[in-house]
Amino acid sequence: KQEVTQIPAALSVPEGENLVLNCSFTDSAIYNLQWFRQDPGKGLTSLLLIQSSQREQTSGRLNASLDKSSGRSTLYIAASQPGDSATYLCAVGVLSEKLVFGKGTKLTVNP
Amino acid sequence: DAGVIQSPRHEVTEMGQEVTLRCKPISGHNSLFWYRQTMMRGLELLIYFNNNVPIDDSGMPEDRFSAKMPNASFSTLKIQPSEPRDSAVYFCASRRGVVVGSYNEQFFGPGTRLTVL
C-alpha cells in the first residue's frame, strides 16, 4: 500500500528566504507526482505535475523534483513571500489511477 | 472556464438526516473523483468515475454512502443516514484523460464543509 509522508508538518520562515518542502513515498511504481496548494477553507490548487519519466518541473518561483528510485520529491520555493503562506500537499498517482496524498506541510512566511 | 463547481458550500444537519452533495465537473473532463478531508486522516479518495461509470468505490466507508453520475456534467454523493463522524470537507475533482498511464492533473472544487450534529 502506497504511503506518502511530508516533512516537516509545519514550517515558519521570514520573507525572502528560499525553502524546500519534502515528500517521500513508499512504492516507486507511480505514474506521476503532483504538488498542490491549499488555502484555509478553500479547495486545492494544482501547482506542478511531474510525470514519472521526468526529473523536475518549474513554474515561476517554484521548482519540483522527482527521484523515483529513492521515493522522494522536493518542492523548492524561491524568494518566499507572505502570499505563499498555505498548506502544501504532495500526491502520487498510482497504478489504479488514484491519487494518494500526504498530510501536507503548513507554511507560514512572516513579513 | 468556471472550474469544478460544488454545492452546497456548507451543510449543517442533524444525525440521521439524508445529505446530498453535488458536483459539476469542468466541461470536457472525463474523470470525476470524490474525496473526503479530515484532520485525522487527511485527504482520502472515496470513489471515482470514468466516462460516468464508477471505476473504484473501495474508499467509500460504508453502505450509508452512495455516489452517482447520471451524465457527464453532474455527480452526487449521498449519505443516508448521516452520523457525526461523517463531518468533514468533501471535495470533488475532475480530470481530462481516462487512458491508464496518461495521467493528467486533477482540478479540485472548493469543497463542501459538512457538519453533522
Chain A: residues touching B (Cβ < 8 Å): 31-32, 34, 36, 41-46, 49, 51, 89, 91, 93, 96-104
Contact A42 B55 (CB under 8 A): no
Given a cut of 60, whether residue A49 has pLDDT beyond it is: yes
Count H helices and E strands in chain B, helices first: 0, 11
**Average pLDDT, integer, range B20-26:** 97
Model confidence over A53-96: pLDDT tens digits?
899 999 999 999 999 999 999 999 999 999 999 999 999 988 66
Note the pLDDT of residue A23: 97
Q: Is the CB of B48 less than 8 angstroms away from the CB of A98? A: yes
Distances in Å between the Cα of A36 and the Cα atoms of A51, B12, B24, B107 are: 15, 28, 21, 10
Residue A110 DSSP class: E
Q: Is the pLDDT of residue A40 over 80?
A: yes
Say which residue the cell 505535475 belongs to. Answer: A49
Per-residue confidence (pLDDT) for residue B99, from 0 to 100:
59
pLDDT band at B96 (very low <50, low <70, confident <90, very high): confident
